[in-house]
Amino acid sequence: MLTQESRTSLSEIADLNQLKHELNEMPAIDVGDYIAELPPEKRAIAFRLLNKTEATDVFEYLPQEIQEELIGLLHNAQVCQIVESMRPDDRAELFDELPAGIAKRLVQQLSPEERQATATILGYAEGTAGRVMTTEYVRLRQGLTVGEALAKIRLADQDKETIYYAYVTDNNRKLKQVVSLRQLLFSIPDVLIEDIASDRVIKAKTEMPQEEVAQLMKRYDLIAVPVVDREDRLVGIITVDDVVDILEQEATEDIQKLAGVSGGDESSLSHPLEKLRNRLPWLVGVMALYIGASSAIAPFQKTISLVPVLAVIMPLFSNTGGTVGIQALTVTIRSLGVGEVTPADTMKILRRELLAGLGTALALGTTMVLLSLIWTSPETRWVGYVAGLVMAANSVIAVTLGTLLPMGLKRLKLDPALISGPLVTTMLDTIGFILFLTLITISLNILHLPT
């Protein structure tokens, strides 16, 4: 593996030939990082030192701004050559993000086959199997022998990951079987492939959401999965390196939505304006919801001025109730996210969450009563008992909401992480405050308990 130290800086190298040699020896992703960190004026110089195959690989790893920059700086012929030899799925992603004018010009300069491949992929909706698949795969017609199949694979010269499985189709391109390179390699050349290939093909439809494809490949430990259209015709494959990226991206989305960050793929290094755009909506939303909550608290101001210890207690159980809710919400969303459970398990899960919730209610209610001993005088001790009761009730409500809300959304085929953490804590705050203040007011006005 190449370390930071071995990436000699451009200025330190008198001889560009030495840099050229070094760059062409490094893994493409490391060269990409190296070029991305160079000052802009030196990037095109370094990039021109790469040989043809390496240039395309490195280009695919560069951040999109730098890809655009290089497209402007390099000769048109070189750009065309790079774009032509990019993997169709990566090229589709690039075209999708480039300014329309540049993308159009580049599409026109592609060879007819590559143009077709790009159009096919861009024809499917974002986030579906069709959009992340590559059209470079090995397709074998029924009737070939093992020897003929191996000869065809040898000629294909495709990406290294995509040749370990070949897909057998009929005359209408319908997917029939799958055969591994291993099986082909270890069979007698004269045997027909259909006799050694497996009929048990695990496949994805073009419109399948990418996270479902990823879960499918994870479940069956697949290196590649074939993608078919509605007529069951083979149109592409998805490889395991994409699955790793998809799973990470989905986990990042879940984790960020739970925290009230809505973009889904914000990085620490994102632009401050993007951060603001991702985060402010939930913050302002939470504040707006609080208008409702606070309007509900406002009538109780008299109660609060009579029993000011309430102001000491209230933030405590608001924070705790919110945490109980977030815990249940997070575990539920994550279990749905990794495909461990489905909405059909709702009652089974709710039972377990409620049992845990009762334990929590008991522990937190008791702690609340004990804590109140510090803050209340003997006459106002009853406030502590009411607080303990509400704390316990709030815990049970919290686990119920935290479990049922994401399950309900999933059942409606919506994103379970649509209900973010801040929304749940705000709801629980409101419920808890109203419950608490109502009980305290009743105790004061009807039971005439002392203040």
- Which of 20, 139, 233, 275 lies at the binding interface for a second copy (CB under 8 A)? 275
**Contacts with 260 (C-beta within 8 Å, 6 or more apart), sequence order:** 279, 282, 283, 286, 420, 421, 422, 423
- Work out whether 359 is an interface residue with a second copy (CB under 8 A): yes
- Work out whether 376 is an interface residue with a second copy (CB under 8 A): no
What gap in Å lies between CA 258 and CA 162, rounded to an integer? Answer: 36
Residue closer to a second copy (CB basis): 220 or 378: 220
- Work out whether 244 is an interface residue with a second copy (CB under 8 A): yes
- Which of 130, 226, 236, 260 lies at the binding interface for a second copy (CB under 8 A)? 260
- Span 124-153, contacts to a second copy by CB under 8 A: 150
Q: Which two tokens stand for residue 191?
A: 């045997």
- Work out whether 435 is an interface residue with a second copy (CB under 8 A): no
- Work out whether 308 is an interface residue with a second copy (CB under 8 A): yes
- The whole-angstrom distance between residue 389's C-alpha and the CA centroid of its chain comes to 40
- Which of 62, 70, 178, 349 lies at the binding interface for a second copy (CB under 8 A)? 349
Residue closer to a second copy (CB basis): 120 or 395: 395
Q: Which two tokens stand for residue 250?
A: 């989905």
- Work out whether 375 is an interface residue with a second copy (CB under 8 A): yes
Residue closer to a second copy (CB basis): 104 or 219: 219
Residue closer to a second copy (CB basis): 14 or 273: 273
- Work out whether 326 is an interface residue with a second copy (CB under 8 A): yes
- Which of 131, 433, 443, 444 lies at the binding interface for a second copy (CB under 8 A)? 433
Residue closer to a second copy (CB basis): 13 or 355: 355
Residue closer to a second copy (CB basis): 97 or 241: 241
- Work out whether 373 is an interface residue with a second copy (CB under 8 A): no
- Work out whether 17 is an interface residue with a second copy (CB under 8 A): no
- Which of 259, 396, 434, 439 lies at the binding interface for a second copy (CB under 8 A)? 259
* Least distance (Å) between residue 67 CB and a second copy: 18
- Work out whether 410 is an interface residue with a second copy (CB under 8 A): no
What gap in Å lies between CA 445 and CA 314, rounded to an integer? Answer: 20
- Which of 17, 25, 42, 414 lies at the binding interface for a second copy (CB under 8 A)? 25
Helices (H), 49-138: 52-61, 64-73, 76-85, 88-97, 100-109, 112-122, 129-132
Q: Are strands 138-141 and 204-205 parallel, antiparallel or unpaired?
A: unpaired
Stretch in the footprint of a second copy (CB under 8 A) among 14-22, 82-90, 135-143, 357-365: 357-365
- Work out whether 393 is an interface residue with a second copy (CB under 8 A): no
What gap in Å lies between CA 335 and CA 345, rounded to an integer? Answer: 11
- Which of 13, 151, 283, 414 lies at the binding interface for a second copy (CB under 8 A)? 283
* Bridge partners for 276 per DSSP: none
CB 173 within 8 A of CB 231: no
- The one-letter amino acid at 301: Q
* CA 93 to each of CA 63, 97, 119: distance values in angstroms, whole numbers, following the listed order: 12, 7, 11
What gap in Å lies between CA 450 and CA 445, rounded to an integer? Answer: 10
* Least distance (Å) between residue 266 CB and a second copy: 5
- With 0-12 / 13-18 / 19 or more C-beta atoms within 10 angstroms meaning exposed / middle / buried, residue 259 is middle
* Least distance (Å) between residue 198 CB and a second copy: 10
| Phi, psi dihedrals of residue 238, rounded to the nearest 5° | -120, 130
Q: What angle do CA 14, 16, 19 make, to 5 degrees?
A: 100
- Work out whether 422 is an interface residue with a second copy (CB under 8 A): yes
Q: Which two tokens stand for residue 29?
A: 């992703």
- Work out whether 104 is an interface residue with a second copy (CB under 8 A): no
Q: Residues 163-192 vs a second copy: string with x where CB under 8 A?
A: xx---------------xxx--xx------
- Work out whether 251 is an interface residue with a second copy (CB under 8 A): yes
Q: What do you get for the CA distance between the two ends of the chain, in Å?
A: 71
- Work out whether 21 is an interface residue with a second copy (CB under 8 A): no
What gap in Å lies between CA 422 and CA 428, rounded to an integer? Answer: 10
- Work out whether 272 is an interface residue with a second copy (CB under 8 A): yes
* Least distance (Å) between residue 160 CB and a second copy: 6
Give how many residues touch a second copy by CB under 8 A. 119
Q: What is the largest CA-CA distance in the chain?
A: 97
- Span 210-239, contacts to a second copy by CB under 8 A: 216-221, 223
What gap in Å lies between CA 263 and CA 270, rounded to an integer? Answer: 11
CB 321 within 8 A of CB 394: yes
- The whole-angstrom distance between residue 60's C-alpha and the CA centroid of its chain comes to 21
- Span 26-85, contacts to a second copy by CB under 8 A: 27, 29
- Work out whether 388 is an interface residue with a second copy (CB under 8 A): no
